[in-house]
Amino acid sequence: MSSLRFALNHMAAPSLPIEDFFALTTSLGIDAVEIRNDLTGNAILDGTTPEVIAQAARQHALTIISINALQRFNEWNAARAEEAQALISFAKACGAKALVLVPKNDGTGRADGERQENLRQSLAALKPMLEAAGIIGLVEPLGFEICSLRSKAEAAAAIDALSARSTFKLVHDTFHHHLAGEGQLFPDLTGLVHISGVSDPDVSIADMRDPHRVLVAADDRLDNAGQMRALVEAGYAGPFSFEPFAAEVHHLKDPAKALRASMDYLSAQV
């Protein structure tokens, strides 16, 4: 049994104020968190300053591994540049190590040639912005068929074309890896792993969506344990961050108990 490094994404308990979310994390013996900029009524959207978040993280002895996320990062324009700069500045001020970069997922920008050029253009623009702040860009391909960046291989090729492995890493999301059906793992380029399971026996892989994503248990259809084991055996030593989107998880009365059970299950399996 390996000693896995777990992390907690705020999506695991999105209704908890940031202080309570940090307290939940430390109660589980976890020392790393991901904060989000898409939780209405919660930090960052409620106007909480990065300094307040940094202080709370220090009080709980937590590392903020990322802000999740700059959406539609591969559709580069003036508005995106402004949004990216604001998030990078927030990340630096709150002590976050990285910014997750999520591609557009609306069916546009998928044509061969077009999508690679859009990706290269965006990474080239982000590179000096991230480097100036000392922030890592975490590129997260999504497995959905309508997504403009499904392939980790394509993302890795774009990063290498810019000689930018010190600036960009990949997010291996177990849900999206399963949906994309991509075999390659890229452990040496992986900076973060998102974990969530699907237990619904009736939903097809093509129809799996965020609301199906629960905490990983024995009935998991995505083989999280197998994916995690393969990554660890290939040399990945970074965090495995819980990122469940299912309402049933968000409404749990005792999220700590459920998260502990999932941590114990995965630790035994991996």
219, part of any domain: yes
Distance between first and last Cα of the chain: 6
Residue 168 φ/ψ, nearest 5 degrees: -120, 140
202, part of any domain: yes
124, part of any domain: yes
As for how many domains the chain has, the answer is 1
- Span 224-241, pLDDT tens digits: 999 999 999 999 999 999
Burial 138-167, CB ≥16 within 10 A → b, else e:
bbbbbbbeebbbbbbebbbebbeeeebeeb
Residue-level pLDDT, tens digit, the chain, 270 residues: 458 999 999 999 999 999 999 999 999 999 999 999 999 999 899 999 999 999 999 999 999 999 999 999 999 999 999 999 999 999 999 999 999 999 999 999 999 999 999 999 999 999 999 999 999 999 999 999 999 999 999 999 999 999 999 999 999 999 999 999 999 999 999 999 999 999 999 999 999 999 999 999 999 999 999 999 999 999 999 999 999 999 999 999 999 999 999 999 999 999
Q: Are 4 and 236 in contact (CB under 8 A)?
A: no
216, part of any domain: yes
Angle at 116 between CA 194 and CA 144, to 5 degrees: 40
- Span 88-104, pLDDT tens digits: 999 999 999 999 999 99
261, part of any domain: no
167, part of any domain: yes
Domain that holds residue 120: 6-252
221, part of any domain: yes
Give CA–CA dist 109/220, Å, rounded.
Answer: 32
1, part of any domain: no
Assign residue 11 the CATH number of its domain.
3.20.20.150
Burial 26-48, CB ≥16 within 10 A → b, else e:
eeeebbbbbbbbebeebbbeeeb
